Amino acid sequence: MKKILITGANGFLGSHLVEQGMQLGYETHAAVRKNSDLSNLNNCSPIIKYIDFDKEDRLRDILKHEQYDYIIHAAGLTKSIHKESYYKVNSGYTRKLIKLLHEEQVLPEKFIFISSLASYGPADFQVNGIIRNDSIPHPITEYGKSKLQAEQFLELFKDLNYITFRPSIIYGPRERELSLLYKNIKRGLELYIANKDQQLSFIYIHDLVRIIYKSLSSKHSRRAYFASDGKKYSSEYYNSLIKGVLGKKTYKFVLPMKIARIAAGFSEIYSKLLKQPSMFNTDKLNELASKSWECDISPLVEDLGFSPKFYLEEGIVETIKWNIEKRNL
């Protein structure tokens, strides 16, 4: 039985990866921090590994003892009140993990790194308005910059069989950050930043998990893939789908950029006072103000035979249904 380690295992993506690993017959080890909320893992019983990346000796011992066949590094920091934290966690911890695997000579057959479309930034800066593998990275957030830094570090280890995934917006059951949008629409409010025509890319959680596991047995390595369902959707169309599922009519508001920047600034000040990261800050505003996040998934199709089972029209129904069942809406 092949042994797999999944970091960030109690998170949205991580918990789905754990479930799929167990269903596929892997000996699945879920790496979490002590005192983590494990409610997302209630439907399965993986082997729990309490890992603190700041405690290098403990991490080294686990890697040396277990000698994992595969590692999916899904742990990451998506919001913080201190920009330094993004680099400590997203690139620094990735660097530490690879360094220890290399020093102990226990490199896995495949190392999967979960990056983000944010590592290349929006398509606004790219030729023909689409993000491709040969595009020049132009991240516009600290989160995206830290993910790009981690990607670049992986490339330095020539004996590491890695695959990097750069997902677009991941949605589906257990995703909670987008629930604020659903709640606002349920209240009859539909808010846009600067314009209603921003072009977005999405990937349903089960499609992403499926292709990640397929990559483990692929002959391809040392490659990176943008991951979406291959379509682009305007933010207005996205909202219309949510309204349709919820059966709601809304009042539409387009917030001018100047006002949005002031609001983001106040939100950051407030979050620092509370010592809690805010979902709306300058980084998030930069993402919302971009014109397009369209990406090219042809390498994913050619190398791994990817064909999405869920497009946004079907996936949003399942996502909102789950939120209603869990009384998040």
Please give the angle made by the CA atoms of 210, 32 and 86, to the nearest 5 degrees: 85
Question: pLDDT tens, 32-59?
Answer: 999 889 999 988 999 999 999 999 999 9
**What is the per-residue pLDDT for 317?**
96
**What is the per-residue pLDDT for 181?**
87
299, 300, 303, 308: CA torsion to nearest 10: -140
Does residue 303 surpass a pLDDT of 90? yes
Question: pLDDT tens, 95-127?
Answer: 999 999 999 999 999 999 999 999 999 999 998
Element (H or E) spanning 101, and its range? Answer: helix 93-103
Angstrom distances, CA of residue 277 to CA of 22, 39, 163: 33, 22, 30
The pTM of this model reads 0.95
**What is the per-residue pLDDT for 253?**
86
**What is the per-residue pLDDT for 195?**
78
C-alpha span between 44 and 21 (Å, rounded) = 10
List, in sequence order, every residue forming a beta bridge with 70; answer none if it has no partner.
4, 110
Selected residue with higher pLDDT from 5 and 256:
5
Question: pLDDT tens, 140-185?
Answer: 999 999 999 999 999 999 999 999 999 999 999 999 888 888 988 9
Average pLDDT value for residue range 9-32: 97
C-alpha span between 198 and 18 (Å, rounded) = 33
* Homologous superfamily in CATH for domain 3-176+201-227+294-309: NAD(P)-binding Rossmann-like Domain (3.40.50.720)
Tokens read off for 228: 């979406």
